[in-house]
Amino acid sequence: MNSFFEPFKDSFLIKILLAIILFLYSLFSNAQVDKNTEVYKTLKSNDSIIFERAFNHCELEKLAPIIAQNFEFYHDVSGIQNREAFMAAIKNNVCSKPGNYARQLVTNSLEVYELKNNGVLYGAIQKGKHKFQEKQKGVLNTVGIADFTHLWILKNNKWVLKRVLSYNHLPFSE
C-alpha cells in the first residue's frame, strides 16, 4: 500500500519547503532575547553590578543581594568556589589593591536566553566575553580575555545568580 506522501518523496520543492520550515522553527524556538527586552536589560544591569560595582570598584555590599545562597562558580584556572569563597576571593584578591584590576564586557558579546517551564519564565542563561585589565606602570592594560556563562534564577520576582562558568581564559592580543 502506498502512503499519502509517496508521490512527494522525490519532490525537490517539498524538500526545500520542509528545510525552510525547520530552519525558521529552530531560529525562533531557541533564539536569544532581544536587547530591548526587560530580561536582557535587567541581566545586563546585574552584570554591571557584579563587575563594574563589585569587581572594578570594590562595592561588595552591592554583590551579596544578587548572589544565590547555593551559588557555585566554576573557573578553568582557579577551580570551584561556593558563595563565601567567591566573595572572599574578590575581597581579598581584587579589592586588596583597589584600582589595580578591572573587567570589561566585550562590546556586543552579551547574549541572554530565557528558561521557561510550561511557558512561565523561571530563569535565564547569560553568556558573553570579557576582558581583564591590570595596572602596569600606572596604566590599566588589557592582559586577558575569557568566556563566561551565568545561570540566573528568578526567585520571588528577583534575579539571583546561581551558577557561573568562567572559561577559555587566554592572554589578550588585538
Residue 7 included in any domain: no
Q: Residue 159: which CATH number?
A: 3.10.450.50
Rounded to two decimals, the pTM is: 0.80
Alpha-carbon span 44 to 111, nearest angstrom: 9
Residue 45 included in any domain: yes
User: In this structure, how many other beta carbons lie within 10 angstroms of the beta carbon of residue 111?
Assistant: 15
The total domain count for the chain is 1
Q: Are 173 and 145 in contact (CB under 8 A)?
A: no
Q: Which domain holds residue 16?
A: 12-171
**60-88 pLDDT, tens digit each:** 999 999 999 999 999 999 999 999 999 99
CA distances from 75 to 72, 125, 146 (A): 10, 17, 10
pLDDT at residue 58, as a whole number: 92
Helix or strand holding residue 84 (H, E): helix 83-92
Q: Which amino acid is at 23?
A: F
**11-50 pLDDT, tens digit each:** 676 667 666 765 555 445 557 899 999 999 999 999 999 9
**112-157 pLDDT, tens digit each:** 999 999 999 999 999 999 999 999 999 999 999 999 999 999 999 9
